[in-house]
Amino acid sequence: MFQMITAPENAPFAVALMVMLGIAVIEGVGAIFGAGLSSLLDTLVGDVDLDADVDGDVDGGSGQIPGSGLLTHTLGWLRVGQVPILVLLIIFLTSFGLIGLGVQSVVFGAIGRYLPAAVAWAPAFAGALPSVRFFGGLIARILPKEETSAVSRDSFIGRIATITVGTATRGAPAEARLTDEFGRSHYVMIEPDLDTDRFSTGDRVLLVRVDGARFRAISPPTESLLDEQSDR
């Protein structure tokens, strides 16, 4: 088993599993000091745009980036916005590593050698994505039972949310966390309501309306509004 994991052809899968274990260790140590990896991840992500791979000019001045709808749909399919990013990352790394090693084990048993890493990563990646959706869905069913109490999405309008991962621009949503009237946290996808706005990790925004699976937000008009909701 050790020889299999250390084989050069299996390096991507071994690294994925080591990173996953590293996350578990860091999260455990962070929990002791009152700060988990989720906070660290938010800081490291900084201004990384979740739609950074969508290139092209803005279409007709509408503020929509060509292809952003497909990417938003893909992120939704992967449960982004339903489950914390860190959880989805752990699922992906674990699935990618185990599926990759499983494929290589079968291939080695059949032909006596491993596939090149440049070839083997493809089926592992393709298998990891459905795993993220499946296990993310299972976790998403658990989270509402712990975090919600018959709260509708419409009730989030007028509440303050904090960007947790990514940079939100028109057509490029980012993940945000808000607290409902019962003091429980929810993760939602938001994008600016105004073409000119841009919200980065750590920014606090005011949710003003629902737009399909995401929320539209603006900068809070007054500091007193932030203070009022902080006191709730």
Q: pLDDT per residue over 78-98, tens digit each?
A: 887 677 778 888 999 999 999
pLDDT in tens, 108-151: 999 999 999 999 999 999 999 999 999 988 887 876 544 444 56
Give the mean pLDDT of 203-212.
Answer: 90
Total domains in the chain come to: 2
Domain containing 200 equals: 153-230
Assess contact for 46 and 129: CB atoms under 8 A: no
Indicate whether 37 and 136 sit together in one domain.
Answer: yes
The pTM (predicted TM-score) of the whole model is 0.54
In angstroms, the CA 199 to CA 215 distance is 13
Indicate whether 197 and 226 sit together in one domain.
Answer: yes
Last residue of a domain, one of 120, 147, 174: 147
pLDDT in tens, 6-57: 899 999 999 999 999 988 777 666 555 544 555 444 444 433 334 344 344 4
Q: Where does the pLDDT of residue 229 fall: very low under 50, low under 70, confident under 90, or very high at 90 and above?
A: low
Indicate whether 109 and 209 sit together in one domain.
Answer: no
Last residue of a domain, one of 147, 170, 204: 147
In angstroms, the CA 72 to CA 169 distance is 12
Indicate whether 178 and 129 sit together in one domain.
Answer: no
In angstroms, the CA 90 to CA 88 distance is 5
Pairing mode, strands 214-218 and 185-192: parallel
